[in-house]
């Protein structure tokens, strides 16, 4: 393989981090998967979780990514330090952006509505089922993978419940977002497609996903209208 000789650079080597102070590994080990199965599942999960950029907006989404990457890594290292003192052998953890993938499962479970698309032995299959299967595949690869999964879910739950006011403390300043919008976005963005009443796609799967996205948007708009109506009625009563 072309970059096989650089594989060790991306290893999540805890011995090197704790004993030699190689903090640069904390950055490189989160950039690439070293396992083919995790690469496929992780890439698909990142594709599924793109919906949060639309839901959160650039400022909150960027802040959430930074929070997940930082807080989850701190949680991993803190727990590893405690477990190593208790004589648990943790030497190598799986490489890859686990710290930004697993926290997204918390808002995905709590906030994204589900629509049944089929039933297997009476069990409803929804558009949300596949990300859970991919996440389960990644989490059950090894005990170390499960450890990273638990850390990610914990930090995601902290943000969702706003423990220690993390949602406001980790919110990026508006100037940083404006800088990115003015100088970075023009380099990578593409023009938005024209509004279509019917979904288009090269396969039935793409068409079905587009239809689910459209129904989800309608559901969210209807729920927002109900909340606004309830708030207005409560205000009028007062």
Task: Tell me what the mean pLDDT of segment 134-154 comes to.
Answer: 94
User: What's the rounded mean pLDDT across residues 138-165?
Assistant: 94
Calculate the dihedral angle through the C-alpha atoms of 158, 161, 162, 164, rounding to the nearest 10 degrees. -60
Give tens-digit pLDDT for 190-222: 666 665 555 555 455 555 566 666 666 666 666
CA 54 – CA 48 distance, rounded (Å): 12
Q: 23-64: per-residue pLDDT in tens?
A: 899 999 999 998 889 999 999 999 989 889 888 888 889 899
Pair type for strands 92-93 and 12-13: antiparallel
- 69, pLDDT greater than 70: yes
* Contact by Cβ (8 Å): 202, 195: no
Domain limits, the chain: 4-189, 194-238
Position 6 scores a pLDDT of 76
Find out whether 86 and 103 touch, Cβ atoms under 8 Å. Answer: no
Average pLDDT along the chain: 81
175-189, pLDDT tens digit by residue?
877 777 776 766 666
Query: Over the range 135-148, which residues count as b (16 or more CB within 10 Å of their CB) and which as e?
Result: bebbbebeebbebb
pTM score: 0.75
Return the pLDDT at 221.
66
Mean pLDDT in residue range 100-126: 81
Please say whether the beta carbons of 62 and 177 come within 8 A: yes
Phi and psi torsions of 58, nearest 5°? -60, -45
Tell whether the model's pLDDT for residue 160 goes beyond 90: yes
């Amino acid at each position: 393989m072309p970059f096989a000789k650089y594989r060790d650079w991306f290893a999540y080597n805890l011995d090197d981090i704790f004993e030699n102070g190689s903090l640069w590994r904390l950055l490189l080990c989160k950039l690439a998967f070293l396992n083919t199965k995790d690469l496929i599942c992780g890439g698909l999960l990142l594709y599924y979780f793109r919906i949060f950029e639309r839901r959160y907006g650039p400022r909150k989404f960027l802040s959430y990514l930074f929070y997940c990457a930082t807080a989850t890594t701190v949680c991993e290292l803190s727990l590893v330090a405690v477990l190593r003192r208790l004589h648990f052998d943790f030497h190598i953890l799986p490489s890859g952006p686990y710290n930004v993938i697993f926290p997204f499962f918390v808002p995905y479970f709590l906030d994204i509505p589900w629509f049944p698309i089929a039933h297997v032995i009476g069990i409803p299959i929804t558009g949300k089922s596949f990300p859970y299967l991919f996440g389960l595949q990644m989490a059950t690869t090894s005990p170390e993978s499960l450890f990273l999964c638990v850390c990610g879910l914990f930090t995601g739950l902290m943000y969702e419940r706003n423990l220690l006011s993390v949602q406001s403390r980790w919110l990026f300043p508006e100037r940083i977002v404006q800088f990115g919008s003015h100088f970075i976005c023009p380099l990578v963005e593409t023009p938005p497609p024209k509004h279509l009443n019917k979904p288009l796609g090269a396969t039935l799967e793409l068409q079905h996903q587009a239809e689910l996205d459209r129904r989800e948007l309608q559901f969210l708009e209807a729920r927002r209208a109900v909340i606004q109506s309830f708030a207005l009625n409560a205000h009028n009563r007062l």
